[in-house]
Structure 1
Amino acid sequence: MDSDLEYKILQPDKSLSDFVDSFWFLHNRSENDKKTIGLPDGRLDLFLFQSPAESFRITLIGAETRQYEYGVIPGNSLIFAISFKLLAVEYILREPIADILNNARFLPDGFWEFTERDLLDFDLFVEKATRKIQSLLPKEMDERKRRLFELIYQTKGSITVKELSEKVFWNSRQINRYFNRQFGISLKVYCNVLRFRASLEHIAKGKLFPEENFSDQTHFIKEVKKFSGVVPKELSKNKNDRFILLSAIKQQ
């Protein structure tokens, strides 16, 4: 990753594993703005953001199905983030995100009692966020949904809707109705996003042939271009670290 961009990721406490993918921060330590492009990764992100030119804000980024412009990361700006798994929508955030597919929503000041002071210490931010999420953990959960997402993440999306339906004993039409109502995306598209995300780990290592469950090289190239806007070879080069997710994966 660009030496001016500092990035750190922490895994969540085990008690949050059904709902939280990770905690992370991104700090542009230079005076210069950085142009970046985001890639879909199957997560939704809650951002705390501040820069010298912009006031503190809290933003929820919905599910993504295509590359998107982070636009410019301002000089000396700082982002602390919680990356959620989709189950968090119903059980932690408790409000559908279908309306912000490939979009974002500003959250009210004081959401979860977060303030700009929480940007002073990343570890303390993680502790505070963990306590808050633990206080919201459901006493009961639909076992079909828990098992459904467990299988989706275990297979990194390389599983058919039919297989998932049979394994969790839940009608595929009902599953898709749930996905579209809650997340604004079909189950099949979501699995394809996760498979694309998994392929980035290989592309980051210069492996430009399908390692996941793609039918052939042509299918692989087509899917990568659909989600990133470029073919695997160009994505791997990642000129000027513009694809920020790929840069972060290379750093891990």
Structure 2
Amino acid sequence: MNYQTFQPHLDLQSVVKCYWTLEVPAENNAEKQRIVPDGCIEMAFILGDDIKRFTSGTDFMLQPRAMVLGQTIDPFYIQPVGYVNTFAIRFYPYGFANFINTPVKKLANKETSIAELFGQSTADELEQKINHATDTQQRIGIIETYLLNKLNEKATIDNIVTSTIDTLLATSGSMPINAILKEDLSKRRQLERKFLKHIGISPKQLGKVIRLQTALKLLLNQKTETLTQIAYESEYYDQNHFIKDFKEFTGTTPKDFLADGKLILSSLFYAKD
């Protein structure tokens, strides 16, 4: 068995974790292999013989030869029917959403052909290039050209904004932008320009606002008794950090906020939201 990984181009490091290849000689009665979820999304090209994916103890389907394996919750079993030769791209959990219009959740727990995601003609052309490439480096060059071109498309850039907002909302604003973009400075500048144009504030500011909303709801609904508890449940670093952000966006302290008659309407909006 020969498994190797390769690092992506610098401009793709925020979305692609690695490329990998796997070669296994054909065996008679090859054993099933249990695949455990790793939190990533894979785009894979089967260059060797077919591979079975079991849907029950005995029932199986043949995996598409050019496919995307979405997020999986439970382990599953595969079994090669002969010689294994696979080239694949491993995306970060938030990375693949930048390249498609289909909601990522629709890809979960199954294989989806790349034709379904990118169109038949594009998929055919990409698959043929990958299949006819002479080595792994050439395949990496082919897929990176495709991915980099996709990243420069307007729809993809807009997807970056959307997926970043979704991540901020899902984490109540606590996910640092650097963590979302893996500190890719060129991507961050692009994202901030799009945010300012379409959202009106920076990604960092939006994250702070969303996190403050979480804290305000706790404060107004009195779900916790102390500012320390509110800071902890809202995932602030500490109470001082919480108070600093609070004053930045409300102009007052949490305690004064509750007693300020000029903030009754704001309090109502947050408490009932």
Q: TM class by shorter-chain length?
A: 0.5 to 0.7
Q: Deviations over 1:50-90 (max 9, x none)?
A: 33467982011000122221x20232121100111233333
Name the aligned partner's letter for residue 22 of structure 2.
L
Q: Secondary structure at the match of 2:140?
A: helix
CA distance in 1, matches of 2:27, 2:151: 41
Structure 1 or 2, whichever has the larger Rg, is: 2
> Comparing both structures, which one devotes a greater share of its residues to helix?
2
Q: What is the TM-score of this pair, normalised by structure 1? A: 0.52
8 Å CA contact 2:73–2:109 kept in 1: the answer is yes
- How many residues are aligned here? 159
* More deviation, 73-82/93-102: 93-102
Distance 1:67 1:50 in 2: 24
- RMSD between aligned alpha carbons? 3.5
**Cα 1:39–1:117 shift into 2, 3 Å:** same
Contact 1:59 1:106 in 2 (8 A): yes
Distance 1:25 1:6 in 2: 8
Which residue of 2 is the match for residue 61 of structure 1?
Answer: 69
Shift, 1:28, TM fit: 1.1
Distance 1:36 1:149 in 2: 37
What SS does structure 2 have at the residue aligned with 1:42?
Answer: coil
Query: What is the identity, as a one-letter code, of the residue corresponding to 1:58?
Result: A
Q: Which residue of 2 aligns with 1:135?
A: 149
27, 40, 45: which one pairs with 2:42?
A: 45
Cα offset for 1:94? 3.2
Query: Is 1:169 matched up with 2:208?
Result: yes
**Partner Cα separation in structure 2 for residue 39 and residue 149 of structure 1:** 28
Please say if residues 50 and 80 of structure 2, whose CA atoms lie closer than 8 Å, have aligned partners that are also in contact. Answer: no
Same amino acid, percent of matched pairs: 17
Greater relative contact order, per chain length (Cα 8 Å cut-off, separation 6+): 1
The alignment partner of 1:169 has SS state of helix
Residue type at the aligned position of 2:68: L
Question: Normalising by structure 2, what TM-score?
Answer: 0.49
1:100 and 1:169 map into 2 onto residues whose CA distance is 30
Task: Name the counterpart of 2:90.
Answer: 83
Name structure 2 gaps, 5 residues minimum: 52-61, 169-174, 183-203, 214-273
Q: Tell me which residue corresponds to 2:136.
A: 122
Asked if the contact 1:89–1:96 (Cα under 8 Å) also holds between the matched residues in 2, the reply is: no
Q: Partner residue of 2:25?
A: 29
Q: How far does residue 119 in structure 1 lie from its aligned partner after superposition?
A: 5.9
